[in-house]
Structure 1
């Protein structure tokens, strides 16, 4: 009977918690998001569109959808914040709609609004959309391929790469007249750990875009070795057991957030690993199905993919 009562209390509490969340969120079901731009049947020039709308008081996010009219193919379905969103599109005819959302409710979608995007020879207000690597990209590889979307009215592209070390920035390369939409950064350029800022602009005979910019963080230095905290070596305990360790500070020119991986094996040589748990914490609770002796160790990883050497190995007996 006690077990039944406990389960009933748990489910009742869970129901009340969910119900409270619904009560705290305003019901926006009958509201509509007012669109601002593009307006219906607008004719736009360029390679991108800025969608704008009036914010709804009780909406946390907005889901914006864009459809290609000729094929009815969805080209955008994204959840965004704020009251505007810019997206790159090829020339063509499109329609867009938007709705507001919060934790518990959504509005209806706005009525679809059609617009036409045409090619413009004037690059001044167009944007080069960089595709890879992503913004603030951490890597331990000293060679990368930079890519970006083509602009139809561009005849060439200019790539500039700056290197920043200890706050000092210098331009490493400036390459104009590229006709491809990619560029290889070799180890000659990425010669040491640093922040590499890459920039691309599009050019034609009469105009050019502004530079589009992203950062690459080259980090080839492995994190320091972690030290184990508890349980002590040859400790005994019952399952589940909480393991803790000390994460050292990151070192080197480029530093990033560190994570850990704890491994548990049935042998000291780790030939038979039964648990491999990545975690952003410095502790991990592990449940053991069987009693006996186990061995554990930890290593540290950084955002660039570098790995520390393993910690010491400790033995734990599960009783």
Structure 2
């Protein structure tokens, strides 16, 4: 049998205390540093769409990103002052000189700013891409229309929006192919499908590269009726009562309803409970009390399905 000496016990105790304290006391990040990765200080590029990227800081919850032109010492325009929770951020720029900076933050402390300067050179739009804004990639909507948005591209005076339901396999059969001067366009969906979309910048002499490809799903079909498994209807059960139902492939979550003896009023303010699991342990109820329960599924788009059958059980 492994023996632990007193010194090892003390070390183990301190380790446990340290881990436990860290869960309740937020560590300070005042003395930590953000490391900027791209664009690096002094960088020069002819690509208008820039991705700002830095190393993550341990114990940071968010980052404040600021961008100005031409520098923080001689600022003529503030372009960005935003807080994000990731360590990357895409933003389209015009040709010019810029300086950017980032600091890490949590609820009680923050690091110092770290900055870098860079230059964007004028180039043909043939090398550029439009940055898409909305809908987000893989978005799901129950609305029959959506507003498609994108950022302006320096040098472009119009934009070609293409939407398809067959991954652009045949450009002569697109759902939509329209050239407009605005930065957004409202589209009405005619079928419940997944729609792919992309945008290209244009001027009188050149065309940009196509943007990234995104998709959005239009779905108004509710999921099927949930089938309850156990307990059987109107049986006597002991606590905790394991309420269980069959999974549905189209369900993203389930709404569980437990009703009082009248079968209409919610048992308490807890219900309905939203769950991703297909079971629930019910620990309340009085001996001899008869309660009712039902479940309905909700799909990824937010469409609620029909209620399951209404079953009852009696607390033993």
Q: CA deviation at 1:204?
A: 1.2
Q: CA deviation at 1:222?
A: 2.4
SS state at 1:206 partner: coil
In the other structure, the counterpart of 1:307 is 304
Query: What pairs up with 1:278-289 in 2 under 5 angstroms?
Result: 278-288=274-284
Whether the 8 Å CA contact 1:59–1:100 is kept in 2: the answer is no
In the other structure, the counterpart of 1:318 is 315
Q: CA deviation at 1:284?
A: 1.8
Whether the 8 Å CA contact 1:163–1:169 is kept in 2: the answer is no
Whether the 8 Å CA contact 1:52–1:85 is kept in 2: the answer is yes
Would the alpha carbon gap of residues 51 and 125 (structure 1) be closer, same or farther in structure 2, given more than 3 Å must change?
farther
SS state at 1:18 partner: helix
Number of residue equivalences: 289
Would the alpha carbon gap of residues 265 and 28 (structure 1) be closer, same or farther in structure 2, given more than 3 Å must change?
closer
Would the alpha carbon gap of residues 286 and 94 (structure 1) be closer, same or farther in structure 2, given more than 3 Å must change?
farther
Would the alpha carbon gap of residues 145 and 242 (structure 1) be closer, same or farther in structure 2, given more than 3 Å must change?
same
Q: CA deviation at 1:85?
A: 5.0
Q: Deviations over 1:223-270 (max 9, x none)?
A: 2211112222223345543311111333xxxxxx53211111125653
Give the Cα separation in 1 of the matches to 2:193 and 2:144. Answer: 11
Matching of residue 95 in structure 1 with residue 96 in structure 2: no
Would the alpha carbon gap of residues 224 and 52 (structure 1) be closer, same or farther in structure 2, given more than 3 Å must change?
closer
Give the Cα separation in 2 of the matches to 1:168 and 1:94. Answer: 37
Unaligned runs of 5+ in 1: 1-11, 22-26, 251-256
Give the Cα separation in 2 of the matches to 1:90 and 1:168. Answer: 30
Matching of residue 75 in structure 1 with residue 81 in structure 2: yes
SS state at 1:124 partner: helix
Give the Cα separation in 2 of the matches to 1:128 and 1:30. Answer: 39
Give the Cα separation in 2 of the matches to 1:57 and 1:45. Answer: 30
Would the alpha carbon gap of residues 224 and 317 (structure 1) be closer, same or farther in structure 2, given more than 3 Å must change?
same
In the other structure, the counterpart of 1:199 is 198
Give the Cα separation in 2 of the matches to 1:62 and 1:146. Answer: 28
- TM-score normalised by the chain length of structure 2: 0.71
Q: CA deviation at 1:87?
A: 2.9
In the other structure, the counterpart of 1:130 is 132
- TM-score normalised by the chain length of structure 1: 0.70
Would the alpha carbon gap of residues 207 and 121 (structure 1) be closer, same or farther in structure 2, given more than 3 Å must change?
farther
Q: Deviations over 1:118-143 (max 9, x none)?
A: 7x573233332222211101223332
Matching of residue 222 in structure 1 with residue 222 in structure 2: yes
Whether the 8 Å CA contact 1:66–1:94 is kept in 2: the answer is no
In the other structure, the counterpart of 2:253 is 259
Would the alpha carbon gap of residues 223 and 176 (structure 1) be closer, same or farther in structure 2, given more than 3 Å must change?
closer
SS state at 2:20 partner: helix
Cα RMSD (Å): 4.3
Query: What pairs up with 1:169-208 in 2 under 5 angstroms?
Result: 169-170=169-170, 171-187=173-189, 190-191=190-191, 193-208=192-207
Whether the 8 Å CA contact 2:29–2:60 is kept in 1: the answer is no
Give the Cα separation in 1 of the matches to 2:312 and 2:240. Answer: 15
Would the alpha carbon gap of residues 62 and 307 (structure 1) be closer, same or farther in structure 2, given more than 3 Å must change?
closer
Query: What pairs up with 1:1-319 in 2 under 5 angstroms?
Result: 15=17, 17-18=19-20, 32=33, 34-40=35-41, 47-52=48-53, 63=63, 65-68=65-68, 69-70=75-76, 75-80=81-86, 86-89=90-93, 94-98=98-102, 108-109=111-112, 111-115=114-118, 120=122, 122-164=124-166, 169-170=169-170, 171-187=173-189, 190-191=190-191, 193-212=192-211, 213-237=213-237, 239-250=239-250, 258-267=252-261, 270-272=264-266, 274=268, 275-288=271-284, 292-318=289-315
Unaligned runs of 5+ in 2: 1-13, 69-74
Would the alpha carbon gap of residues 143 and 100 (structure 1) be closer, same or farther in structure 2, given more than 3 Å must change?
closer
Q: CA deviation at 1:215?
A: 0.4
Give the Cα separation in 1 of the matches to 2:265 and 2:65. Answer: 51
Whether the 8 Å CA contact 1:64–1:96 is kept in 2: the answer is no
Q: CA deviation at 1:205?
A: 2.0
